[in-house]
């Protein structure tokens, strides 16, 4: 299958968030001497599931970024396209351009991504009867591996999970899920509007810790107009990307000591 790598630079950081380093796009930041984006491409190329795809970003700005993109594109398996206004818009544009299914969607700051993670997720996702499958990592595994790392977690009544920035788009219906994501993204600074989209009952049950993970995905599926499922990954490294200074330090330490990671 083809892969889409979202590699656009985030134009604004969350309140209090530290960037590493602040002057460079995250995906071009060297992690243990190698840009994160290149590490992601290496993992995709080593995967038995992936046969090239599209890089949605980074924006063409000359210098080392363009040189890196030229090197990546030299083999002809990955093409570059300019990123859109946001990640959801970039994902939609790239998927419509590929128009071949299934598609793996990931991000260019996933410096610890490996071929094994990709293949395990794709195999699990292919067995789900869903239009789009989201990879989740059980939070207890992440906490055990990284006890001092702060990770965003989704707390359901039957377990807590961390995202893994891996999405399996099984067919064209998955575009409905991405379009729904775009709607939520547009209201990220107006949580009451997000609540209107998701439904107050669902959010209330989630806030009380009374929402099972499968019921949550069924509710989101109804709102998005397509079947959205999830698959569990047991590798805690899948939950680490490089978008904060702390995460960058963890990823670099692991990559510098790969045999003992």
- The CB-side HSE value for 68 (13 A sphere, CA atoms) comes to 25
- What is the pLDDT of the chain when averaged over all its residues? 87
Q: Strands 53-56, 2-6: parallel, antiparallel or unpaired by DSSP?
A: parallel
CATH assignment at residue 88: 3.90.550.10
Categorize the per-residue pLDDT at 24 as very low, low, confident or very high, splitting at 50, 70 and 90.
very low
Least confident of 81-95, 102-116, 195-209: 195-209
Q: List helix spans (H) across 169-260.
A: 174-186, 191-198, 200-207, 213-224, 245-256
Categorize the per-residue pLDDT at 26 as very low, low, confident or very high, splitting at 50, 70 and 90.
confident
Tokens of 54: 């599209």
Residues paired with residue 135 on neighbouring β-strands, in sequence order? 231
Task: State how many domains the chain has.
Answer: 1
pLDDT, one tens digit per residue, over 31-84 is 999 999 999 999 999 999 999 999 999 987 656 668 889 999 999 999 999 999
Tokens of 40: 């992601």
User: Phi, psi (5° rounding) for residue 211?
Assistant: -110, 115
Q: Strands 103-107, 78-81: parallel, antiparallel or unpaired by DSSP?
A: unpaired
Q: What is the DSSP letter of 238?
A: G
Which domain range does residue 33 map to? 2-260
pLDDT, mean of residues 98-104: 96
Query: CA-CA distance, 210 to 224, in Å (whole number)?
Result: 22
């Amino acid at each position: 299958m083809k892969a889409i790598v979202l590699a656009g630079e985030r134009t604004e950081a969350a309140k209090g968030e530290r960037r590493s380093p602040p002057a460079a796009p995250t995906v071009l930041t060297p992690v243990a001497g190698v840009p994160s984006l290149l590490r992601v491409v290496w993992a995709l190329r080593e995967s038995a599931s992936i046969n090239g795809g599209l890089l949605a970003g980074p924006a063409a700005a000359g210098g080392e970024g363009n040189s890196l993109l030229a090197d990546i594109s030299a083999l002809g398996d990955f093409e570059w396209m300019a990123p859109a206004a946001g990640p959801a818009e970039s994902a939609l544009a790239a998927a419509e351009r590929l128009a071949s299914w299934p598609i793996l969607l990931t991000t260019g700051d996933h410096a610890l991504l490996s071929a094994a993670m990709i293949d395990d997720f794709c195999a699990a996702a292919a067995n789900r009867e869903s239009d789009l499958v989201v990879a989740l990592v059980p939070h207890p595994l992440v906490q055990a591996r990284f006890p001092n790392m702060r990770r965003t977690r989704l707390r359901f009544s039957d377990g807590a999970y961390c995202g893994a920035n891996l999405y399996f788009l099984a067919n064209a219906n998955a575009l409905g899920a991405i379009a729904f994501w775009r709607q939520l993204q547009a209201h990220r600074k107006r949580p009451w509007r997000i609540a209107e989209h998701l439904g107050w009952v669902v959010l209330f049950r989630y806030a009380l810790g009374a929402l099972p993970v499968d019921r949550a995905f069924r509710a989101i599926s109804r709102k998005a107009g397509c079947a959205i499922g999830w698959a569990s990954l047991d590798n805690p490294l899948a939950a680490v990307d490089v978008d904060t200074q702390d995460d960058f330090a963890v990823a670099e330490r692991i990559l510098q000591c790969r045999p003992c990671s």
